[in-house]
Chain A
Amino acid sequence: MHAPAEQRTEIELELNGETRHGRAEPRTQLCDFLRHDLGATGVHVGCEHGVCGACTVLVDGVASRSCLMLAVQADGRRIDTVESLARDDVMNDLQQAFSRHHALQCGFCTSGILMSCVEFLQRVPAPDEAQVRDMLSGHLCRCTGYTGIVRAVLEVARQRQSGESQQNASEKPYDV
């Protein structure tokens, strides 16, 4: 497949379970395409060179920097962003735990961190604190000092292990 510069190429991908179409120049980063063309503004764009982690999304279920991928590379792929987490306006267990533990302040880094957590907890369902901190080392958060984030992730891991999370999600949509 050959896409000439400055010409917008057709892209089809699955975004949060829906088939979506758009057009992008070869040089367009995936994060910009998701935000500007597909409206997934939960994807935050920070450093644009892979250091801050704010733009992290799942590509075929794998946490990846969307600033380090071209939109054209996502053609035919499955992309999940933070918009995939809540169901019917009810935040998922991870989002609720972030709220409960003050794991965010300004929220700029949060959507990327949440998407890393999604894959991380699948790969490491019962992590210890060191493993959570190692996972978080791929994200910069300048507000929280990470303590609340670590607590939230560990709590969700414990809940999921003991099968509590679903009840919590339906009883307490927002715990302020």
Chain B
Amino acid sequence: MKAASFDYVRASSKKEVLQLLHEHGEDARVLAGGQSLMATLNMRLTQPKVVIDINRVDELNRIRNESGHLAVGAAVRQVQLTDRAELAREVPLLARALPWIGHFQTRNRGTVCGSVAHADPSAEIPLCLVTLGGTVVLESLKGKRREVPAADFFQGLLTTDRKPGELISEVRFPLAEDGTDYRFQEIAMRHGDFALVALALCLRADGAHLGVGGVADRPVAQTLPLGDDLPDALNTLAWSLGAQDDVHASAAYRRQLVRELGQRLIEEPSHARPR
């Protein structure tokens, strides 16, 4: 299908973006990589009056390693992280998750913050952000700059804590901690398709912090005990997610994947992984 009509503004500064968002509120949509927004525009699932293109706003296209986190700006594409050699040391979980996001052709344009803004329950970047305890930075023209924990930011299917007039100016991923092993795994019908179940893991000596995507209406992370208590804890977690049947998989299959894949991911021998 073809999109309904809208005004298009190519913004040249963050201030201009905030000004436009302030003026138009819910009638405006921010166009970053377009890998979700353009599809919903084409299908007329969303019909904004104004589309604000941030692709040429240089100050939003920044990656900063500072104060214990990696801050990724609103216009940073997924491929920029894939190409970042230090990422495997800085945020190893994200480095392992990136190859699972769509396809290289969509990672070439898709942005990190765009995936967070879209809040698809099976998306890998929101899952990593929640599992690592990252934050989302929101800015507006008049209001206060807010830094919201990812676990509070995602509020349900395609629903977030972003208020009309606010821009997700960056997301912050905590840097790797010593003694933690980061692992990622997912099952999809075809590599790059939406995950039936995606798992992100921070494995420490005293417990497994496991994030699950694709099952509940948002990514959910929980700390599980290791050893004999693990199967029961995984089962409880699997049942707590409110899995639904859909055309791709039954709720029972999704629960089974959480249990089985979770157990394997947590208990697989720790290889000498590059850090």
Binding site for B on A (CB under 8 A): 1-6, 9, 25-27, 29, 32, 48-50, 53, 56, 59, 62-65, 67-70, 72-73, 116, 119-120, 134-135, 137-138
User: Given A3-B7, A26-B8, A27-B6, are A67 and B105 also a contact pair (CB < 8 Å)?
Assistant: no
Tell me whether B42 is interfacial, beta carbon within 8 Å: yes
User: Given A2-B7, A27-B3, A48-B1, are A73 and B105 also a contact pair (CB < 8 Å)?
Assistant: no
User: Given A50-B38, A62-B108, A68-B109, are A29 and B103 also a contact pair (CB < 8 Å)?
Assistant: no
Closest-by-CB residue of A relative to B40 is A49
- Which residues of B lie under 8 Å from residue A6 when comparing CB positions? 5
Closest-by-CB residue of B relative to A51 is B39
Beyond A2-B10, A26-B51, A27-B41, list 18 extra A-B contacts (CB 8 Å). A1-B9, A2-B9, A6-B5, A27-B2, A27-B3, A29-B2, A29-B3, A29-B38, A48-B42, A49-B38, A53-B105, A62-B79, A72-B8, A73-B31, A135-B104, A137-B190, A138-B102, A138-B192
Are B105 and A72 within 8 A (Cβ)?
Answer: no
Are A63 and B8 within 8 A (Cβ)?
Answer: no
B8: which of A56, A70, A134, A137 is its contact (CB, 8 Å)?
Answer: A70
A137: which of B41, B49, B191 is its contact (CB, 8 Å)?
Answer: B191
Are A65 and B109 within 8 A (Cβ)?
Answer: yes
B105: which of A25, A29, A49, A116 is its contact (CB, 8 Å)?
Answer: A116
Interface residues of A: mostly helix, strand, loop or mixed? mixed
CB<8 Å pairs between A and B, sample of 24:
A1-B9, A2-B10, A26-B7, A29-B2, A48-B42, A50-B38, A50-B106, A59-B109, A62-B109, A64-B109, A68-B35, A68-B39, A68-B109, A69-B34, A69-B109, A70-B51, A72-B10, A73-B31, A73-B34, A73-B55, A116-B104, A134-B191, A137-B190, A138-B104
